[in-house]
Structure 1
Amino acid sequence: MQQTTQLLRGNYQYDRNAYIAAGEPMIFHCHHYNVYLQAVIEDTSSYLNVYPMLSDSAQEIVYTQFSNFFKENQDLSVEDKKYICQDYFSFCGFGIIDLTNLTKEGGKVIAPFEHYGIGWKTKFGLREKNKKGVAFFAAGYIAGATEAIFDLPLGTLCTEQKECISQGDTKSSFEVFFRKNNTEDENHTDLVASPQEGKYQTYQLKQPSNTTIDYEGIRQALTNMDLQGDSQTGLIDAFGVLLTRMYANYYCLISYKLLRLFEDEMGKDGLPLAAELLTEAGHVCAYNTFGGVMQSTEWNAMIKPMIEKKHDWVHGITAVVNAFGWGFWEIEELKPNQKLKMKIVSGYEPNNYLAHFDSHTDLPISFLASGGIAGIMNLVYNTSLTEDFITLDENEYKKMIQKTSLFQAQKYICRVKEHSQFDQITVSSIAS
């Protein structure tokens, strides 16, 4: 069994800067981005029906991954399959789930630790009891895994959260049951298999000549780190944040389905608002994730000794990104305190969009990348992080974004929109 679970954990593919596990691209993101992106989506729930897609998207991906894996490993019993799905949930930092009592008709699932519930409470405090629980991803994971375990068609089951750690409950719990059909459930949408790796590209990591940062050395060191869920909690506590090995396609699906909901409700005029919300989530991710990395013991031990000039901080965090599974990030131009032009090859956002959606868009869709690149420059040049330790809280963030020297994406070539071979995003100060 141990050998089988190891097969599912996948490998880092250096030719496309991606972790691939049973066909699914997995990427590192932390609780700040996970819960903030979900909060941004939930804020639109008063006029958009967003809740079903949060769990349905996870169900589509998890079902595809496990059903394919189980077809390739046909000697597994039902109990073996349950163990594998539980183990992978914990390995990825999602927490701990107990699938023991599930049957092909469903059943109850207990999660004594769950990433979104704990992450939400850590970032936002206790959630009101009159709201839904926040573990939509876990709910979809459980439904998709159960369908794969019992070889049921995708969309047969759904999951309802009954208790949530974010609301002060001692555990999160879920009820799995048969999904109603279209005529009985207005929230039902047809579930579609995951695009898996999508339209990925191959490339070779390049070492810039104008920095002392060792890109390949950092990538090798980070991709060989043993980053997996703790045996007691199933959580990954690293770089000062709660990390997850999250499905790249999950972020893409919930983001791009949100775009479709905005367009259906408001027409194309609603798309810029959706893009602004999703890009801000990427900026918040950079502030917390990159900021946490740049103040971590791992950074101080591995990367800070390489830094000679301030612009090396930008190169250092870019080198780290190249071990996150996000594709290749390559600095084409860096003017300290003025401009950063980043080339992105095989970015996980266009990889998904080009494979999963049947139409091109006039809107650039690399929201995480756009916000993240601006966030790098804002951390380095609009905070004192490179000189002193700072507390990365809401007050510090508000001070940063109120500066006239704030960096934002000013020029944006998108692989989807322009039919380009790569994304090219240029951020500069809004005052320039």
Structure 2
Amino acid sequence: MAKKYFEFSDMKCVPVDGDRTLAGEHLVIHCHHYNSRLQRSLENCSLVDGKGIFKEAAERTFFRQIRVAASEQKLNSPEEVLKMAADLYRFQGFGVLDFSSHQVNQVRGVSSHYVEGWNCCYERESRPVCTFAEGYIAAAMGAAMGVRYEVVETECMYQGGDCCKFEIRETQEHPLKFEWFVPEVLATDHSKMLAEAANPRVDMIKIRDTVFGLPLEGNEQGLIPAFNVYLAHMPREFYNVVSGLFVKQMEAQGLGETGYAMLEEDAEVCSLTTFSGIMASDEWAALVQPMIKYTEDNIFGLVAIINALGWGSVRLIEHQAAETLNIQTANAYEIYTPKDLRMAEAKTHCPMMSGVMAGLLELVYLDIPFEDRRGLYQTEETDCSANGHAFCDFHTKRAMSAATKAAA
């Protein structure tokens, strides 16, 4: 068995802030539904370089994380750095990479979070789908060798191959050719948020802390099967660079608002699929279901779980069953999108959280096919920390009836 460089105890967790960190990066948990859909939406959008965006975001993010991890573990040789990078990939739930043939310009992937996502969510297509792995491998090679590599996937398990194969080519460039984005320093304040709505039946703190304590790390296949989905620990920087580059490219064509709407829809759809899996899981049955007496209690349980996903500290302020939901967040991860990647003059910068909240109400209160639920609830972010507010404020309500949508 390969040496393990990472254990769950290495992750620093602060439940009250909804925060996890490892090797200098704040980690957020999403599942194969969200990750594969986000990638597919960008790569299928002819208005942007979706593949380039996804690959660049991975290379940027993981070059830094791998360098920090190598420094923390005092690794000096390129071979040790590559072994550590492979274990980081496994630990965070992305799959298994084999760098043993890098000297002959090849890297292999023998399991993949993204391939699992595409296989579960979409019919087979004749294209490779491991764009994320291309960026990660480039980051690992650059961090280990001190020179940038171009990485191209030549065979993919999604296309029926036994493994994913990547060709790597050394360039003459600096290992990270991109300029660093300037991180945003924001003064969020938990104390300014309103008091959380009382629900004597649902112990939200117990749920949050229990999920935070689950040893969620990649198994021998580098996957994290839990709550009926495949989870992955992703640095928030990755998602923020992906969404930021996408919105800026859309904004350059006068379609910035459309870009935000697309990101919100991706999150809404994945909220339906992800949290339906969670509610059908053994973990939910053991931990949350005994607290559920009324339908609206499910919303409290779901928000409690969200507080353990690294998305920030999420407070449920008010909920009218089947009608409205108000949540506030002091440090939602999207607010840390670099300022130069945000859409100019935008009033809101958290499309993921907005879409998720709409999806929660559609999941819990509607009993129609998933594809017919989309758009029946809508979230408005009235205040955003990225614009100087002490917290983000989200209000979700019915947008239309199913009959109105069907007639439209």
Q: Same fold by TM-score, threshold 0.5 exceeded?
A: yes
2:88 counterpart of 1:92: no
CA distance in 2, matches of 1:200, 1:53: 29
Q: Report deviation, 1:77.
A: 3.0
Indicate which of 116, 119, 126 corresponds to 1:118: 116
CA drift of 1:198 comes to 6.2
**Matches of residues 78-89 of structure 1 in structure 2 within 5 Å?**
78-89=78-89
Check conservation: 1:78, 1:149, Cα contact below 8 A: yes
| CA distance in 1 between partners of 2:77 and 2:28 (Å) | 29
The answer on 1:397 being equivalent to 2:370 is: yes
State the distance in 2 between where 1:181 and 1:149 align: 14
The answer to whether residue 140 in structure 2 is matched with residue 170 in structure 1 is: no
Q: Is the 8 A contact 1:61 1:194 kept in 2?
A: no
The answer to whether 1:216 aligns with 2:205 is yes
The whole-number CA distance in structure 2 between the counterparts of 1:230 and 1:196 is: 33
Quote the offset at 1:297 in angstroms: 0.9
* Cα distance change on mapping 1:397 and 1:50 into 2, 3 Å: same
- CA distance in 1: counterparts of 2:279 and 2:244, whole angstroms: 30
SS where residue 83 of structure 1 aligns?
Answer: helix
Aligned with 1:160 (options 134, 152, 159): 152
TM normalised by structure 2 equals: 0.89
Per-residue CA deviation, residues 65-101 of structure 1 (Å, 9 max, x unaligned), is 1112223333543332222111111111111100122
**Native 8 Å contact 1:340 1:426 kept in 2:** yes
Partner of 2:32: 31
CA distance in 1, matches of 2:284, 2:278: 6
Seen in structure 2, the aligned counterparts of structure 1 residues 215 and 91 have a Cα distance that, compared at 3 Å, is same
Select 2:267's aligned residue among 259, 279, 282. 282
How far apart in 2 are the matches of 1:197 and 1:5? Answer: 28
| Change over 3 Å in CA distance of 1:200–1:62 after alignment to 2 | farther
Tell me whether 195-204 or 343-352 shows the greater mean CA deviation. 195-204
- 1:409 maps to a residue whose letter is T
- Give matches, 1:260-409, under 5 Å: 260-264=248-252, 266-267=253-254, 270-354=255-339, 357=341, 361-383=345-367, 396-401=369-374, 406-409=376-379
Kept after mapping to 1: 8 A contact 2:244/2:342: no
Cα deviation for residue 277 of structure 1 reads: 0.7
Letter of the 1:285 partner, please give it. C
Indicate yes or no: 2:404 matched with 1:428. no
How far residue 201 of structure 1 moved from its aligned partner, in angstroms, is 4.7
Instruction: Say if 1:70 and 1:292 are closer, same or farther in 2 by CA, change over 3 A.
Output: same
Aligned alpha-carbon RMSD (Å): 2.7
| Residue 263 of structure 1: how far off its partner (Å) | 1.6
Query: 1:353 corresponds to which letter in structure 2?
Result: P
The CA distance in 2 between the partners of 1:361 and 1:60, in whole Å, is: 26
- What SS does structure 1 have at the residue aligned with 2:385? coil
Distance 1:75 1:38 in 2: 33
SS of corresponding position for 1:365: coil
Offset of residue 375 of structure 1: 0.7
Whether 1:19 and 2:7 are equivalent positions in the alignment is: no
Cα distance in 1, alignment partners of residues 198 and 8 from structure 2: 38
Could you say if the C-alpha distance between residues 192 and 215 of structure 1 is closer, same or farther in structure 2, counting changes exceeding 3 Å? farther
The one-letter code sitting in structure 2 at the alignment partner of 1:126 is R
Aligned-partner SS, 2:338? helix
CA distance in 2 between counterparts of 1:8 and 1:148 reads 24
**Are 1:139 and 2:129 counterparts?**
no
User: Residues 346-395 of structure 1, C-alpha deviation per residue, up to 9 Å, x if partnerless?
Assistant: 111002334x64885325221110000111111111138xxxxxxxxxxx
On the 8 A contact 2:93/2:231 being kept in 1, the answer is yes
Secondary structure of residue in 1 paired with 2:120: helix
CA offsets 1:240-297 (integer angstroms, 9 cap, x no match): 1111112222111111101111122x13xx1121111110001011101111111111
Question: What is the rounded CA distance, in whole Å, between the counterparts of 2:79 and 2:172 in structure 1?
Answer: 27
* Conservation of the 8 A alpha-carbon contact between 2:30 and 2:232: yes
Q: Unpaired segments of 5 or more residues in structure 1?
A: 183-188, 385-395
TM-score, normalised via structure 1 length: 0.85
